[in-house]
């Protein structure tokens, strides 16, 4: 039985004091909620403050990006060990905004997965097609390539520790959500791909979450799909009440 996983990607939002306010409110509101892994991914500057606040709570902490080198002359980058040291358990890798604006590729995704797993951080790896790719009926081809290249050489033990986020690019921050059927079709494709390349057992273990304008009003329908195990949430994770309602509606 795969446990529901809901993560908030705060993107480039929230100062440290705003982080403190939001985390304190979330902590109060979700303290009694069970049966779901709840994770927040604030900006780098707020991570260690957030870590202190969530330490005694049912909220996990993740970062939004990482570099694959251990240390050295890489101005502006943050290493896996730095994230671990700041209190992170998770890290988002390959978000479409990183791919679009910062040159992230399937190859850098793979390097980052290997680097973070070497310090036992859990990667949340994003895949997804653009609108143009969907319109050109290339969705499956694109996702397959992202999986094939992004997970090249990752063994079964390590794939089990990865969370895969299917995020159609056209649905991120646009208010356009994939229909539950559209999302389920791709989630099933990903699970079948894992079964074919690895094993049936593994395909049943790996959590595949959906991202793209998830909100309280559509969470239930999306989460009730057989192969959707949770959500990666942008906009609706920035306000305590919206995020908590979304989580409750997903259970
Ligand atoms: C995201 O940032 O991963 C995302 C899904 O954003 P939104 O929920 O705002 O579409």
Q: Whose CA is nearest to atom 2 of ligand 1?
A: 234
Q: Answer for the pair 228, 208: CB distance below 8 angstroms, yes or no.
A: yes
Going by pLDDT thresholds of 50, 70 and 90, the confidence category of residue 197 is very high
Regarding the beta carbon of 211 and ligand 1, being less than 6 Å apart is answered yes
The pairing of beta strand 4-9 with beta strand 208-211: unpaired
Residue 42 Cα, ligand 1 centroid: separation in angstroms? 13
Least confident of 26-35, 171-180, 192-201, 206-215: 171-180
Stretch 39-60: mean pLDDT = 97
pLDDT for 4-21, tens place per residue? 999 999 999 999 999 999
Question: Tokens representing 70?
Answer: 């251990």
SS (H, E, C) the chain: CCCEEEEEECCCCCCHHHHHHHHHHHHHHHCCCCCEEEEEECCHHHHHHHHHHHCCCCEEEEECCCCCCCCCCCCCCCCHHHHHHHCCCEEEECCHHHHHHHCCCHHHHHHHHHHHHCCCCEEEEEECCCHHHHHCCCHHHHHHHHHHHHCCCCCHHHHHCCEEEECCHHHCCCCCCCCHHHHHHHHHHHHHHHHHHCCHHHHHHCCEEEECCCCHHHHHHHHCCCCCCEEEECHHHCCHHHHHHHHHHHC
Q: Whose CA is nearest to atom 6 of ligand 1?
A: 234
pLDDT tens per residue across span 135-160: 999 999 999 999 999 999 999 999 99
CATH of the domain at 152: 3.20.20.70
Nearest CA to ligand 1 atom 4: 234
Enclosing domain of residue 20:
4-250
CA-closest residue to ligand 1 atom 8: 234
pLDDT in tens, 96-125: 999 999 999 999 999 999 999 999 999 999
d(CA 178, CA 201): 28
Whether 9 is in the pocket of ligand 1, judged by its Cβ within 6 Å, is yes
Report the atom number in ligand 1 closest to the C-alpha of 171: 10
Task: Report the atom number in ligand 1 closest to the C-alpha of 96.
Answer: 3
- Greatest CA separation for the chain: 48
Identify the pLDDT of residue 164. Answer: 98
Question: Are the C-beta atoms of residues 66 and 115 closer than 8 Å to each other?
Answer: yes
User: Does 173 contact ligand 1 (Cβ within 6 A)?
Assistant: yes
Q: From atom 7 of ligand 1, which residue's Cα is the shortest distance away?
A: 234
Best residue among 39, 167, 209 to mutate for probing ligand 1, ranked by most atoms within 8 Å of CB: 167
Residues with catalytic function? 95, 167
Mean pLDDT of the chain: 97
How many structural domains comprise the chain? 1
Which pair of tokens denotes residue 231?
A: 């959500």
- Residue 234 Cβ < 6 Å to ligand 1: yes
Residue 177 has pLDDT above 90, yes or no: no
Predicted local distance difference test score (pLDDT) of residue 129: 97
What is the reported pTM? 0.97
How far is the centre of ligand 1, averaged over its atoms, from the C-alpha of 168 (Å)? 10
Pairing of strands 59-63, 163-166: unpaired
Angstrom distance (rounded) from CA 213 to CA 178: 9
Distance from the alpha carbon of residue 11 to the mean position of ligand 1, in angstroms: 9
Decide: 172 in ligand 1 pocket, CB within 6 A. yes
**pLDDT at 165 > cutoff 90:** yes
């Amino acid at each position: 039985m795969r446990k529901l996983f809901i993560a908030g990607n705060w993107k480039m939002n929230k100062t440290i004091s705003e982080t403190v306010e939001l985390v304190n409110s979330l902590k109060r509101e979700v303290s009694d909620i069970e049966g779901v892994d709840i994770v927040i991914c604030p900006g780098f500057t707020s991570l260690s403050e957030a870590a202190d606040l969530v330490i005694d709570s049912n909220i996990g902490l993740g970062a939004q990006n990482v570099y694959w080198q251990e240390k050295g002359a890489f101005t502006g980058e943050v290493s896996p060990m730095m994230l671990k040291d700041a209190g992170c358990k998770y890290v988002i890798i390959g978000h479409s905004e990183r791919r679009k604006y910062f040159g992230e590729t399937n190859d850098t995704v793979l390097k980052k997965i290997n680097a973070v797993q070497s310090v036992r951080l859990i990667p949340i790896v994003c895949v997804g097609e653009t609108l143009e790719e969907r319109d050109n009926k290339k969705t499956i081809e694109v996702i397959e390539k992202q999986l094939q290249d992004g997970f090249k050489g990752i063994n079964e033990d390590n794939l089990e520790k990865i969370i895969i986020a299917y995020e159609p690019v056209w649905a991120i921050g646009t208010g356009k959500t994939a229909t539950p059927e559209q999302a389920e079709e791709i989630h099933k494709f990903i699970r079948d791909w894992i079964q074919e390349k690895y094993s049936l057992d593994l395909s049943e273990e790996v959590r595949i979450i959906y991202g793209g304008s998830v909100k309280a009003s559509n969470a239930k329908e999306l989460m009730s799909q057989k192969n959707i195990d949770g959500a990666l949430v942008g906009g609706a994770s920035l306000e305590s009440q919206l995020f908590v309602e979304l989580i409750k509606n997903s259970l």
